Amino acid sequence: MNTTDKINLTFPGLFNETLRKFGKRNAYAFVGEEPKTYESANREIRALIAFLEENGIRPGDRVAILSLNMPNWGIAFFSITFIGAVVVPILPDFSPVEIANILEHSGTKAMFISNSLLSRVEDFKSDVLTLSILMEDFSILPPGKDRPKYDPSVLSTKNYVVNEDDLASIIYTSGTTGRSKGVMLTHKNISYNALKGRVIQYIDENDRFLSVLPLSHTYENTLGLILPMLCGSCVYYLKKPPTPSVLLPALAEIRPTMMLTVPLIIEKIYFNKIVPTFRDNLILKFLYKISFFRKILNEAAGKKLMKTFGGELKFYGIGGAKLNKTVERFLREAKFPYAVGYGLTETAPLLAGANPQQSVFESTGPAIEGIELIINKPDKKTGEGEIWAKGPNIMKGYYKEPEMTQAVLTQDGWFKTGDLGTLDKNNNLYIKGRLKNMIVGASGENIYPEEIESIINNFRFVVESLVVQQKGKLVALVHINMEEFEKKYQTLKQDMTRQLEDKVDDVLNELQEYVNSQVNKFSQIQKVVLHPVPFQKTATMKIKRFLYT
């Protein structure tokens, strides 16, 4: 019998169960501050519900959250969904135009906003949006209006009936292919997915999460807010962006057991911190090329890395984009407790995953419990095809977009992911790339730019890259670390600029030869172009390809 059959898959139902089991346990805190317990969080939720009621918010109303991560984010999220209203989480890095479009399209009636993001909506005018609340203290904006105020001592006494299939949130994707879509997720979609996350990795009230991804993204929302709530775990938030100077002390203080991240974070650590220690010492550089010694060196580096993360990490989740193959090999040999997952906003998000003990190299692992994955119309030779998914976590559809919904949801409930992949004999999933990104070669060959980019990104000085097709030729746009590059060639004293430019050209030519020696004939790069600034990215740090193709 399915373990979720007896459980009330709504946020109020699950939170009440957590209160019963873990009410006195720590729930949420900023790093460096005393955590609030689940009981105190519940009182704040009930007070905020009373405040929303007084201000005319009713079941079904849309309420946006435009805020940086903080303990009050979860309080606001739960207060909205507990009364049957619908959360519209907005990513903090969205532009004012994108934010205005979302607020208008969703018909948002009220909005929670953090102080640092007020400038994003200062020019927005709406007859529908009638209530703005400052996230830090739940005060009404602008101040001074004769309206009900938030009073932490006044608790709501109303009982709301919230059903599993009621809409919980509309999440607007900032997909890499352009126009944002409002993904409609129910209480059941998200709750089911969170519960199945616990099947992959056991979590309990002794676990500590350190949150570094935006809560408005479905990955962090489901697995970094709902999942720890189910288990009575405590989540810690940073007051500033997770730069090394902010993150390192936080890791030492919190000693997290659980973290959810994107590939870019661990890839930066590997290429900027770990590789130089082996590359800049001639003896280590020589030994690192020999498999036996490389494994020993990587294991030693892994022990240091574990200490950097506080020493108690048992699950370092990586999702949102493809992990670099070389970095993954390092993590395996370093015995670092990493785990790769796969999913989409439309699937709330998790579709496949494994824990660190069961991870399979270059795979996302098998489908999570209760979800079916198939490869639709697989290629007879390669087994590659579009990944389709079916299960209780599949979205209701795109808000106000029936045609878009029809294009991705079949009549019998299969969701077309738009990703290409294969399944092995153990049903482990391997992602090849996005169907829309795939380039068809001159003789009809399938070329996956993501695979070529992962080779380019291993090359010295390269920070990130994008492979595109221009006039029938494969072109690599490459962003390099000029600081590191100039450090390497600082001996060039005279006519510095000209000589550095020549050196850049030499390195780009060398890069082209290196890549073409590593890929098959039809994936060879015809041109490498320097991209002087970082590429624009989504919340999960994927490059927004549509801007460059």
Among 174-188, 330-344, 426-440, 443-457, the range scoring the smallest mean pLDDT is 174-188
Among 28-37, 116-125, 371-380, 490-499, the range scoring the smallest mean pLDDT is 490-499
Task: Please give the pLDDT value at position 522.
Answer: 77
Task: Please give the pLDDT value at position 4.
Answer: 56
Label the pairing between strands 473-480 and 462-470: antiparallel
Q: Given CATH 3.40.50.12780, say whether it is the number of domain 11-144+151-237.
A: yes
Task: Please give the pLDDT value at position 235.
Answer: 98
Cβ(320)–Cβ(540) under 8 Å?
yes
Task: Please give the pLDDT value at position 496.
Answer: 56
- Residue 174: pLDDT band by 50, 70, 90 thresholds? low
- In this predicted model, what pLDDT tens digit does every residue of 229-259 receive, in sequence order? 999 999 999 999 998 899 999 999 999 999 9
Task: Please give the pLDDT value at position 178.
Answer: 47
Kindly give, in sequence order, each residue whose CB lies less than 8 Å from that of residue 70, ignoring residues fewer than 6 positions away.
30, 114, 135, 136, 237, 239
Among 295-309, 335-349, 398-412, 460-474, the range scoring the smallest mean pLDDT is 460-474
Residue 175 has pLDDT above 50, yes or no: no
Mean pLDDT of 288-309: 96
* CB-based burial, 497-525: b 16+ in 10 Å, e otherwise: eeebeeebeebbeebbeebbeebeeebbb
Task: Please give the pLDDT value at position 272.
Answer: 87
Percent of the chain with pLDDT over 70: 95
Type of residue found at 211: S
Q: 544 is written with which tokens?
A: 């927004």
Reduced to 3 states (helix: H, G, I; strand: E, B; else coil), residue 494 is coil
Task: Please give the pLDDT value at position 2.
Answer: 53
The full DSSP string for 188-244 is HHHHHHHHHHHHHS---TT-EEEE-S-TTSHHHHIIIIIHHHHHT-EEEE-SS---H
Tokens 């969701």 belong to 415
Mean pLDDT of 77-81: 98
Q: 535 is written with which tokens?
A: 């590429």
- Residue 490: pLDDT band by 50, 70, 90 thresholds? low
Task: Please give the pLDDT value at position 494.
Answer: 47
Task: Please give the pLDDT value at position 548.
Answer: 86
- In this predicted model, what pLDDT tens digit does every residue of 56-68 receive, in sequence order? 999 999 999 999 9
Q: Of 349, 58, 32, nearest to 216 (Cα)?
A: 349
Mean pLDDT of 30-58: 97
What is the pLDDT of the chain when averaged over all its residues?
A: 91
Work out the burial of residue 332: count CB atoms within 10 Å of its CB; fewer than 13 is exposed, 13-18 middle, 19 or more buried: middle
Residue 493 has pLDDT above 90, yes or no: no
Cβ(63)–Cβ(75) under 8 Å?
no
Kindly give, in sequence order, each residue whose CB lies less than 8 Å from that of residue 491, ignoring residues fewer than 6 positions away.
none
Task: Please give the pLDDT value at position 547.
Answer: 85
d(CA 70, CA 198): 23
d(CA 505, CA 528): 9
Q: 200 is written with which tokens?
A: 């992959």
Residue spans of the domains in the chain: they are 11-144+151-237, 439-547
Cβ(237)–Cβ(31) under 8 Å?
yes
Residue 207 has pLDDT above 60, yes or no: yes
Cβ(350)–Cβ(368) under 8 Å?
yes
d(CA 514, CA 487): 22
Kindly give, in sequence order, each residue whose CB lies less than 8 Å from that of residue 264, ignoring residues fewer than 6 positions away.
321, 541
Task: Please give the pLDDT value at position 440.
Answer: 76
The full DSSP string for 420-438 is EEEE-TT--EEEEEETTT-
User: 439-547: which CATH topology?
Assistant: GMP Synthetase; Chain A, domain 3 (3.30.300)
Task: Please give the pLDDT value at position 497.
Answer: 59
Bigger pLDDT: 379 or 88? 88
Residue 267 has pLDDT above 70, yes or no: yes
- Residue 177: pLDDT band by 50, 70, 90 thresholds? very low
- Alpha-carbon torsion (321, 538, 183, 29), positive or negative: positive
d(CA 295, CA 88): 47
Phi and psi dihedrals of 474, rounded to 5?
-85, 125
d(CA 271, CA 269): 6
Q: How far is CA 323 from CA 175, 184, 399, in A?
A: 18, 28, 31
Q: CB neighbours (10 Å) of residue 59?
A: 12
Mean pLDDT of 262-272: 90
Cis bond leading into 349, ω under 30°? yes
- Residue 147: pLDDT band by 50, 70, 90 thresholds? confident
Label the pairing between strands 439-440 and 429-434: unpaired
d(CA 351, CA 359): 15
Type of residue found at 383: G
Q: How far is CA 288 from CA 147, 277, 278, 334, in A?
A: 67, 11, 7, 13
Q: CB neighbours (10 Å) of residue 362?
A: 14
DSSP E strand boundaries for 243-390: 258-261, 315-318, 338-343, 350-353, 372-376, 385-390
Mean pLDDT of 205-217: 96
Residue 393 has pLDDT above 90, yes or no: yes
Percent of the chain with pLDDT over 90: 71
Work out the burial of residue 283: count CB atoms within 10 Å of its CB; fewer than 13 is exposed, 13-18 middle, 19 or more buried: exposed
Kindly give, in sequence order, each residue whose CB lies less than 8 Å from that of residue 5, ignoring residues fewer than 6 positions away.
none
- Residue 500: pLDDT band by 50, 70, 90 thresholds? low
